[in-house]
Amino acid sequence: MPLIVSAMGFDHDELRRLVAEVGAREEVALIELNFSCPNVETGLIMGADPNETAAAVETLRPLTDKPLIVKLTPNATEPAAVAEAAQDAGADAVSLINTLKGMALHPSSGEPWLGGTTGGVSGPAVRAIALEQVHAVARRVRVPVIGMGGIQSGRDAADFLAAGATCVAIGTESFRDPAAGVRIADELAAISRKEREFSPARAS
């Protein structure tokens, strides 16, 4: 079965090694570049700055013929500008959103509950933010946009497609329901059939 592999690193050298080795494997069909780590060479989050994103994609693009998907962080000042920079540097698609930065406090001690103090917020709480950013990015780029962020149902998936996504991905909901992908695909298909049945062209 073809695989989509996500690669994440803390500098260009680490990313180069990952992309070269993963890209050489026949079972890998696409490579997602998760630019959510700080670049230890510059101190910048790779996916938060258009120039940093472009430099990373330009470095990695010659290493593989496999399509490259750049996963965008919602913590950028202007995600659409980052998406355009990724596209112009050679990305074949973009995916968004990644998690939002957040923190939880332990109910007894009041201290940060997560080992790294902060962590990534995902699930239905981020869906409205994800929809807005997908909408903005889809109007800025020509490459396919993979929408994600709090999708729990076929209706949610349909909303992302209406906002401009080419396709959608299911993340957090799969932890609650391992069969979420199949269920949501079936629900989306049912919505599409219903919309075709009641479209103005059909009614006339």
C-alpha R_g of the chain: 18
pLDDT tens-digit map of 148-199: 999 999 999 999 999 999 999 999 999 999 999 999 999 999 999 988 887 6
Q: Which of 37, 55, 129, 136 is catalytic?
A: 37
- Give 47-78 pLDDT, tens digit per residue: 889 999 999 999 999 999 999 999 999 989 99
Nearest to residue 102, comparing CAs of 128, 126, 120?
A: 120
Task: Tell me the sheet residues that pair with 31.
Answer: 5, 68
Task: Give the integer Cα–Cα distance in Å for 65 and 48.
Answer: 25
Q: Is 167 one of the annotated active-site residues of the chain?
A: no
